[in-house]
Structure 1
Amino acid sequence: MSFSASKTSSATPSVVTPPSSGLVAFENLRLQDDPFDAVPWPGNTYNIIEESTGQLLAAEGHGNFPVNLRLKDPKGGFAPNISWLCVEANGYFGLFNQRSNVYLSTYAQHNGLPSTFGPDQYFVPRRHPKGGYQLLSPVGNTLKQFAVVPPDATSVATFVRRQHAGTIWRFVRVSTGDN
């Protein structure tokens, strides 16, 4: 293959402006979040939905028992333990359940959710092309996905942090009177 100097151009590129009759006005166009797929942001409160099941992420525990994560059927009625306040520290986001006084954590399976906010509670939401978000959690020099392994007939959902998890979470902003 050879390069021919005769096929090159030294002309300066120009900007082409269409005639005003070719312009289209969008007077009533409003860009906003889909109410069923809000952008997580500190200071706002959300219900978090696991996309494949449509179930809500909930903090559940009573009395002296540890507070753990559960997926809850949205048809089960109002439950104050399904709302999560988005918080921020050290450039990472976290999710705080004000009702249960705990943070969403990647290490909650056996000891319950913690009431302190540290590296195991840090998340980075990453937008998914199909909508919703992956929740990434730092592990050393890597970000791993916070995900749910759906239950079988004899178990409850298990929450994990792994490289190729595939769980998509949708954030639905809720009004708490504070935001």
Structure 2
Amino acid sequence: MLRYLRPLRSVTTPPTWRLVRSFAHRGPTDGADEEDIKAARHFLANLDADTIRRNAPHDVSFSRSSGPGGQNVNKVSSKATLRISLPSLLPLLPKLLHPHIVSSRYHAAKTSDVVIQADDSRKQTDNVISCFRRLHELIVEAGRASVPGETSEATSKRVEGLQKAEKAQRRKAKEFQSKKKGARRGGGDER
């Protein structure tokens, strides 16, 4: 990836722009096979909020929620807490997503569970749906963070052209510097 950085400023020289090549850090996909990446992409493409609800053994409990709401919050147990054990959840997910799920804020290290709570609504069913929606968002976010996107052929050709242009520009700058230094060396008096 090519990007322009801020101008370099010096006391004696005017600002110049420098072109820097940066490579995205892949993280957990460093040792991943192409098959693992394809499987993860396929899983994420077919994932919907109900997939995990049906397949993963889970436990939903209800309690009284806190916050504003008058007397209703003291009477009705509408806050939903979803618990899914990691040993039962991780086999359902591609291997590339595991590190992100384990390091998420929903992971309870002592119990080795994923614990998600919701008290957005006054209805228990809406809060349960909200918990599963948050689990779905967690899995999708793990996919965005750990599975690289597919590069189209047009983008590949564009990057290749930019790399060729960068090489040509660098060679041109080197030739210019070489000629300038050569002129300095051979520019003495010839009597």
TM-score (norm 2): 0.18
Q: By percentage of residues, which structure has more strand?
A: 1
TM-score (norm 1): 0.19
* Structure possessing the higher radius of gyration over alpha carbons: 2
